Amino acid sequence: MNRRIIISKSKYLAGLQCLKYFWYRVNAPEEIPEPGFTARFIFNQGMLVGEYAKKLYPGGTDLGKIGDLKEQLVKTSELLSERKPLFEASCSSGGVYSRADILVPAETDRWDIIEVKSSTRLKEDYIHDVSFQKYCFDKAGVKIRKCYLANINNQYIRKGDINPGELFKKTDITAEVGELLVGIEDRIEEMLEAAARKSSPEIFIGKHCSEPYICPLKDKCWGFLPDNHIFNLYGSKNKAAELYNEGVLSIKDIPDGYNLNFKQKIQLECAKTDKPKIDKGEILKFINSLEYPLYFFDFETFSTAIPLYTGVKPYQRIPFQYSIHTLDAIDGQPGHYDFLAEGAEDPREELLLNLKKQIGETGSIIVYYESFEKGVLKELAETFPDYSQWIDSITARIVDLYKPFGNFHYHNSSQKGSASVKKVLPAITGLSYEGMEIADGMAASAYFLYICGNYDTNESLPAKEEVEKVRDSLIKYCGLDTGGMINILRALAKEAE
């Protein structure tokens, strides 16, 4: 075994996903792009969850807050004899290094590992994560009795202060960890061999580039693919991987007679002819079903692992912004209203009050991907029963502009196999989200929480000018979602002429 390379838990998990990624982690970390604003927000959420999990074990010592790595290793071995809970305890032995979120003394000379995760489900990579920890601690002479996963209980409802005992659910994963320990030394050996090479190993791209995590090297590894590449094939990653392995790089090169479904056949036809597919009859049916005045409507929501308000569950969607564009006739002058919450208080009732004033009593309410808006409205009706009748009445008026695209009544190769508004808008109208400060829903929620002081664990508020800049970007982003829908509808109407 090459002893010069120390394998940490995160490197081991990278190596399980892909040896090429592992090689870069070890040999050229500077070539791996830094995580963006949204990824850092998700990381910060995990840190916050970790802080609450520590409250499950009062009297524990937090080693993560002591000096550097070397000092932490020394301090961990000193504190093990005190037999008290340890947070971020670390160990290193024989070329591997790991930390445990929480170590709890068990029996006279053993320890339990508690791995804290901010998700609500058990995932296989969590078991690999803990099996690596157990392997390291065992190797360092710290006997592990049991392994647990403490993740978020999605049934918890916040009442006043967070109750960590109810926020987390603990699952015994000792048996599963034991299963994934089998073969761990061989896997580590294979990773070390890959890392010792002069250049990165040749690894084919495939599903593993996005599972279990989107690999940060994806742009680099996937850059050689043609514009409308085979992985844009609608709804079947397996079929795409099979075709890719047979040497098909582009959708237009799918061989005749290959088993494709209805939508994939349309994709192939559009790619081969370089023309959009337009089902005029279905598009006209959709357009004629609309009742004027039209309200183009979009919510922005955030959801946090730690509920921010009383009565809220982990990851419950909290709407904080909406945009409405109105239209009295297809070629009429659009009107516009919007709402963006101020401050860190629960924004929902104020949002509802405004929405009720701005949505009239008749006319279609056009959204893009109705299950989202309908789901948020349903949750609002449950929380604010005084509004439930009105919410039911507006829900019944919702029309989904996604449908003509999701059903492939209109399809254009430049959508790249997607019917999302982010792909449809540029494909059919030439407008795009490119270059916008905030260009997707995840970023919108992360930025909103940032200006409310809920982005990172130190909860510092950004300066006033920064807040104004972010609010401006949020308004522009949500406004393009609804203004863009007008352009999409007009373009569709034109195609159906």
Residues at the site binding ligand SF4, with contacts judged by CB under 6 A: 17-18, 20-21, 203, 205, 208-209, 215, 217-218, 221
Least Å from the CB of residue 17 to ligand SF4: 6
Q: Going by DSSP bridges, is the β-strand pair 277-278/294-302 parallel, antiparallel, or unpaired?
A: unpaired
Q: Which residue is listed with tokens 């059903």?
A: 407
Least Å from the CB of residue 192 to ligand SF4: 17
Least Å from the CB of residue 6 to ligand SF4: 21
- At 319 the three-state DSSP class reads strand
Cis before 212 (ω within 30): yes
Q: Which is nearer to ligand SF4, 203 or 467 (CB)?
A: 203
Q: Which is nearer to ligand SF4, 31 or 328 (CB)?
A: 31
Least Å from the CB of residue 271 to ligand SF4: 24
Least Å from the CB of residue 219 to ligand SF4: 8
Q: Which is nearer to ligand SF4, 74 or 214 (CB)?
A: 214
Q: Which is nearer to ligand SF4, 217 or 492 (CB)?
A: 217
d(CA 270, CA 251): 9
Least Å from the CB of residue 190 to ligand SF4: 15
**Structural contact between residues 492 and 424, judged by C-beta atoms closer than 8 angstroms:** no
Q: Which is nearer to ligand SF4, 15 or 441 (CB)?
A: 15
Q: Which residue is listed with tokens 């039209």?
A: 294
Q: Which is nearer to ligand SF4, 194 or 365 (CB)?
A: 194
Which distant-in-sequence residues (6+ apart) come within 8 Å of 463 by Cβ?
Answer: none
Q: Which is nearer to ligand SF4, 96 or 209 (CB)?
A: 209
Least Å from the CB of residue 213 to ligand SF4: 9
Which distant-in-sequence residues (6+ apart) come within 8 Å of 229 by Cβ?
Answer: 222, 249, 250, 251
Least Å from the CB of residue 209 to ligand SF4: 3
Q: Which is nearer to ligand SF4, 75 or 218 (CB)?
A: 218
